[in-house]
Structure formats: structure tokens, C-alpha cells
Amino acid sequence: MIKHTSFDHSGGFYFYRLHNWKTDQLTNGFPKLKNFLHSMFEDCPHDYFHSGPRGSALKFSLHDVDMHQTTGHEVSQLTIDGLEENSERYKTAHSKVQVFMLEHDDKTLAVEVPIWLKANELKNYSNIFNSKEPLTGHIDVLRMEGDNIWVWDYKPNAKKEKYASTQVFFYALMMSKRTGIPLDHFRCGYFDSAYSFIFKPEMEMLKMPELGKFLDR
């Protein structure tokens, strides 16, 4: 039911796991998403992940994010349950939460999903990232809720995060580019056991003051 593999990428080993049945059942409206998720076991471009910019290391803010902070979200409860149930099964908090969600949450499709964005896929890419190499990352938790694809990142101290919204925005953009699914179908969030922060990603969010001199050219 759950297919898994490990990727030796920059930053350590990433354990990509996919729930086959849920993926096949919940992605009926998005066949390109299903195909992409299955293809990563054989066709992940590993060379992209050994150098270049990483989504988790981005240190700039987005512009006009309509952020919603909530308590009691189901992903927070799943975090509580996962940390407890898998307390002795896995060493890292991420694995405890991710595997629990994959096994017990009916909306979670995959964890540690490899994604990337090439320089020719975003205007002013080399100025934004100071590189022409692909931007890469791994989505902590990918969920389906109705017609929306949710990109989630687990942050043990979510309320203190400064740039997590930037990270998940680019994760959603990367997945949009990889699958050809419009960004309008994506939602972003990051969470811990107490709080969740959610928003709808939009390209206008890239017009932040820090990058204005590049994006306005």
C-alpha cells in the first residue's frame, strides 16, 4: 500500500513515501499529479539535488500574503497523535508525524516529495536566486482536499517561523511547474502540534520590496 525509497540528496537522506491507493483514488481530477508522484521512484533527477539553491534555505519574505493562523486544525491533531504513537518507532519528529499521517490520514498522499524549478521556468530566476542551477526541495506532506492540492511543511515551532511561507510557496510553484497544474489549484500551509498557518499561493506575492528591483525590470 505504501511504496517508499530513500534519496541521498544535499542535506541528508530523504525518505520518499507514497500511499498508492489514496493517490490513485484522490487524484482522479489530476492525472498529471498521479503520474508525477509515481514517476519519482524511477525518474527523479538526482543531479539537481546536489547543488544549487534549496527551497528550505530561502531567506526573503513574500508580498501581501493573506495568512490565516488557526488552532485545532486536523494537521495539528495528527501531529500530536503521530508524535505519541511513533515515539519509539522513529528517531526524528518529522518521520513520526509524516508516517502517521500517511498511514492514518485519509487525505495524505505522499511525504518528502522531490520537486524542482528550472531557471527558464521563472522570470528573473538568476537574479532572484543568484544561480542558474535548479531550485530544489522536498515537500514534507502532500494532501488532497477536494479540488485543492495542499502543500504542507512541518515546523516544530511554527509560530516562530519567519520564512516558512516563502518555502511552501515555492514548493507549490515547483509542483505546479512539474505537473502543469495551475497554481490556482494549490494551497499552502505549515504547522506544528498547536498552530497551522495557511494561505493561497499567488504569483503576485513575489513582488516583495527585496526583489522589486529585479522583478520590475
Average pLDDT for runs of 10 along the chain of length 217: 95 96 95 98 98 95 96 98 97 98 98 98 92 97 96 98 98 99 98 98 79 41
185 by DSSP, 3-state: which? helix
Beta strands in the chain (DSSP E): 2-9, 12-19, 68-71, 108-117, 135-145, 148-154, 186-191, 195-199
DSSP structure class, residue 48: G
| Number of neighbouring beta carbons within 10 Å of residue 106 | 10
Q: Provide the residue range defining the domain that includes 21.
A: 2-215
Q: What is the pLDDT of residue 215?
A: 40
| Alpha-carbon torsion angle 198, 199, 205, 206, nearest 10 | 50
Q: What is the pLDDT of residue 214?
A: 38
Q: State the pairing for strand pair 148-154/135-145.
A: antiparallel
Q: What is the pLDDT of residue 44?
A: 98
First CA to last CA distance, the chain: 49
Q: What is the pLDDT of residue 148?
A: 97
Q: What is the pLDDT of residue 207?
A: 78
**Residue owning grid cell 509560530:** 159
Domains contained in the chain, number? 1
